[in-house]
Amino acid sequence: MPLNHPELVDLLKKAYSAEKAASFAYQGHAGAVKNPEEKKAIRQIELDEWNHRAEVLQIMNQYNIPVSKYYEVRFHIIGKIISSSCYVIGWFMPFYFAGRLESGNVCEYFRMKHFFNSLGIKEHDKILYEMGIKEKEHEVYFLEQIKGNKLLPFFEKIFMWGNKKGFNNIDLDKKYPVEESDVYCKK
């Protein structure tokens, strides 16, 4: 059954390819950190991103949505560049920009859920909710690593993410259940 929602179709294609970029970036990030606990946590986040990619592909296949060659090439290159840069830009920036990226990714999955729901489709609610929450967990992890760093206030002012600013309205300590999660990421 094809989806008659161009924005949702594009968002699925973009998310599928962007998860590859994120996975590649985390390979470099994990390789560049020295702390074994950080390395282990970042490798787990990489695995989560590969899993998200597989989940998105399952949804795309259900609706006969082809993978975008353009997005695949674009995000492959972006992921590899970010991965390589982690070895030269120091410790703080990979943590900062990973957290900022994850903050925005949270809403990608909730927007998909909203779009599907607008079409009367609820069967993907649980998996999209879980992926959005997992992205929030990633955001929180990265922020925890840098929250006391002296560079954070400066980066937060310029890049609009940090202790006081974010790109989603999810509080993991006060999560809404799937059935009540429509309040997340509404514009």
Classified as helix, coil or strand, 5 is coil
Please give the structure tokens belonging to residue 21: 């970029």
- The string of pLDDT tens digits covering residues 112-146 is 999 999 999 999 999 999 999 999 999 999 999 99
CB 112 within 8 A of CB 128: yes
In the chain, where the domains are located: 6-183
Instruction: Collect all residues with Cβ–Cβ distance below 8 Å to 76 and sequence separation of at least 6.
Output: 17, 20, 21, 24
Classified as helix, coil or strand, 161 is coil
What is the structure's pLDDT at 122? 98
pLDDT by 10s per residue, the chain, length 187? 789 999 999 999 999 999 999 999 999 999 999 999 999 999 999 999 999 999 999 999 999 999 999 999 999 999 999 999 999 999 999 999 999 999 999 999 999 999 999 999 999 999 999 999 999 999 999 999 999 999 999 999 999 999 999 999 999 999 999 999 999 998 7
What is the structure's pLDDT at 186? 85
Overall fold of domain 6-183? Ferritin (1.20.1260)
Q: pTM for the complete prediction?
A: 0.95
What is the structure's pLDDT at 87? 95
72-75 contacts at long range (C-beta below 8 A, 24 or more positions apart): 72/17, 72/20, 74/17, 75/17, 75/18, 75/20, 75/21
What is the structure's pLDDT at 2? 84
